[in-house]
Structure 1
Amino acid sequence: MLLDESDLEARLRELPAWQRQDQRLTRTLTFRNFADALDFVNRVGKLAEEADHHPDILLHNWNQVTLTLWTHDAGGLTMLDVSLAHKINAITG
């Protein structure tokens, strides 16, 4: 179920590192090197598999990872996205 606008705004205040772009959440992280970026992608992949909720993941510029979350079948942002964003935040250190 899509989050209504007021609930979404409240939940996004808990995720200041994430940016809202229409009905998607994005976050770009920069790492020391390619190996660290790739390790992070693999850790996010494990979280995504456990949650059965899969973000778009872009590894670019050899040390940057951009994540994009939204619930495809709902057509926007749901609690699945917020929950996964919190889990990703927990592994970013």
Structure 2
Amino acid sequence: MCEKSYDIQQQNLNFQTISEFKWCMKAHGELEFVWNNKSYSITHPNGKISLCQGNHYAEAFDVETPDEILNCLIDGIKLRDIITKVKVIDRTV
């Protein structure tokens, strides 16, 4: 099986495609991003994919797969529809 590799440059951490985001999630990448002047983070506690606003970890939404996290709502919009538009502040993969 051939793994895709994405060139991530510090000046542009944003995701160019949904496939790039899915690859990042499958590689257990973690990220911080901003949407509508609110900060969010995606982490991987206990083998899950966890989305939370700011540092509200107790209110995190946990899912199993990249597709499930893409269906999570942020301000009433699916993450799938905005992931290539959010401003990524930091990411590990």
With normalisation by structure 2, the TM-score equals: 0.30
Of Structure 1 and Structure 2, which has the larger fraction of its residues in helix?
1
Of Structure 1 and Structure 2, which has the larger fraction of its residues in strand?
2
With normalisation by structure 1, the TM-score equals: 0.30
Q: Which has the larger radius of gyration?
A: 1
